[in-house]
Amino acid sequence: MTETPQYTPLIRSLPASVPFVGPETQERSRGAPFTARLGANESLFGPSPRAIAAMEAAARSVWMYGDPEVHELRAALAAHHGVSPDHIVVGEGIDGLLGYLVRLMIIPGDVVVTSDGAYPTFNFHVTGHGGVLHKVPYRGDHEDPEALLATAAGVRPKLLYIANPDNPMGSHHPGATIAAMLDRLPQGTLLVLDEAYVDLAPPGTAADIAADDPRVIRLRTFSKGYGLAGLRVGYAIAAPGLISAFNKVRNHFGVGRIAQAGALAALQDQAWLDQVRAEVTTARTHLAAIAVANGLRPLPSATNFVTMDCGRDGDFARAVLRELVARGIFVRMPFVAPHDRCIRVSCGDAAALGAFATALPLALAAARG
């Protein structure tokens, strides 16, 4: 009798796993809510009130599908970035756009280059389509453009992924460093530039790259600085030919009416984003002080989180994380050694950071045994 359903050999070979265990799953497991939700790099400062009002208004017409061309939001994004709407595609967060991109580009056996320990969801998409990952170590706490390019020169990948700023370490390169990578890419390699955190980074972090350049696709999100993680709205900037190709595979109704309205209103309230940047700067300073007061080393951050070196190995950092979770503090940590010596703590308001400051010394003491 034929097995039903009939999975592909590739899918039969893969484990059923996800890169992140959500805080809700952990809350169900521990039987209690978290006191402070500081692990997912969400914006505890929330979205623009104008975005909230726009979403409330859009809820009245949610019986209609959203515009499948996402026309108004694409036009506004194009004006914001000084490009044409033909340079913009909107999708279900950067994760969704990465999935579409890999579907467009990767068949079994195709080569992809990335950093070992970088954002894992991209790797899951590549593996899910049968691609072959070549992973390059970080240099210290930074992704290593030179090593990525050297590996690419040898294996000639279809895609080369780099995030600037970086998650999970919070580090960044000047935009000029990223732009200089383009002229050293092998023929046919597309640079996948994940700029999820660039709205919160120092001036000069965003690379000055022409939108018509066919060698790169840049990915942005409304989940971080704009505080709309629950909407799942991201966008990409690329040459029109590549943008047009997304229409062959994307879910044309994947970004709903409320999400489009909320993202559009958030984009139009840049004063709110400026306020969030100031709040994030203050919170990073506060988190760094908490780390130092407890004998940890805060790494410089260009994001809305601070990665803290716990000073030992990954087993110790995992023990610290477990003890924080047991005390109601949701945080995360890098997956790959030697970065797994760290924990990663999102920026938050005074109440959340106060709860973390209270729990951290207790967690460290328990982890030290």
Give the integer Cα–Cα distance in Å for 160 and 132.
Answer: 12
Q: Which residues contact 159 (CB under 8 A, 6 or more apart)?
A: 101, 102, 105, 106, 112, 113, 126, 189, 190, 192
Q: Are 332 and 169 in contact (CB under 8 A)?
A: no
Task: Round the average pLDDT of the chain to a whole number and report it.
Answer: 96
pLDDT tens-digit map of 147-164: 999 999 999 999 999 999
pLDDT tens-digit map of 7-55: 899 988 888 877 788 899 999 999 999 999 999 999 999 999 999 999 9
| Average of per-residue pLDDT across 298-308 | 98
Domain boundaries, the chain: 20-46+271-368, 49-268
Over 90: is that where the pLDDT of 3 sits? no
The CATH homologous superfamily of the domain defined by 20-46+271-368: Aspartate Aminotransferase, domain 1 (3.90.1150.10)
Q: Is the backbone peptide bond immediately before 338 cis, with ω within 30 degrees of 0?
A: yes
20-46+271-368 and 49-268: identical CATH topology: no
List Cα–Cα distances, 199 to 31, 45, 196, 265, in angstroms.
36, 15, 8, 16
Q: Is the backbone peptide bond immediately before 5 cis, with ω within 30 degrees of 0?
A: yes
Fold designation for 49-268: Aspartate Aminotransferase; domain 2 (3.40.640)
Helical packing angle, 257-267 and 270-293, nearest 10°: 80
Write the secondary structure of 50-90 as one string of H (helix), E (strand) and C (coil).
Answer: HHHHHHHHHHCCCCCCCCCCCHHHHHHHHHHHCCCHHHEEE
Percentage of the chain exceeding pLDDT 70: 99
Among 19-33, 82-96, 171-185, 246-260, which stretch is predicted with the lowest mean pLDDT?
19-33
| Amino acid making up residue 279 | E
Q: Which of 153, 165, 241, 154 is nearest to 203 (CA)?
A: 165
Give the integer Cα–Cα distance in Å for 254 and 179.
Answer: 31
Give the integer Cα–Cα distance in Å for 217 and 132.
Answer: 20
- Find residue 161's DSSP bridge partners: 192
Q: Which of 95, 137, 96, 140 is nearest to 118 (CA)?
A: 137
Give the integer Cα–Cα distance in Å for 219 and 349.
Answer: 27
Q: Which of 104, 105, 123, 121 is nearest to 113 (CA)?
A: 123
Give the integer Cα–Cα distance in Å for 347 and 339.
Answer: 20
DSSP state letter for 161: E
DSSP state letter for 292: H
Tokens encoding 192: 């996948």
Give the integer Cα–Cα distance in Å for 345 and 286.
Answer: 11
The kind and range of the H/E element at 36 are strand 36-37
User: What is the per-residue pLDDT for 119?
Assistant: 93
Helix (H, G, I), strand (E, B) or coil at 366: helix
Q: Give me the numbers of helices (H) and strands (E) for the chain, helices first please.
A: 13, 12
**2 pLDDT band (50/70/90 cuts)?**
low
Torsion of CA 33, 36, 40, 45, to 10 degrees: 120
Give the integer Cα–Cα distance in Å for 114 and 91.
Answer: 22
Angle at 19 between CA 68 and CA 31, to 5 degrees: 100
The pTM of the full predicted model, rounded to 2 decimals, is 0.95
User: What is the per-residue pLDDT for 18?
Assistant: 74
The kind and range of the H/E element at 339 are none
Helix (H, G, I), strand (E, B) or coil at 136: strand
pLDDT tens-digit map of 311-358: 999 999 999 999 999 999 999 999 999 999 999 999 999 999 999 999
User: What is the per-residue pLDDT for 4?
Assistant: 78
β-pair type (329-330, 216-221): unpaired
pLDDT tens-digit map of 242-283: 999 999 999 999 999 999 999 999 999 999 999 999 999 999
Over 80: is that where the pLDDT of 138 sits? yes
**62 pLDDT band (50/70/90 cuts)?**
very high
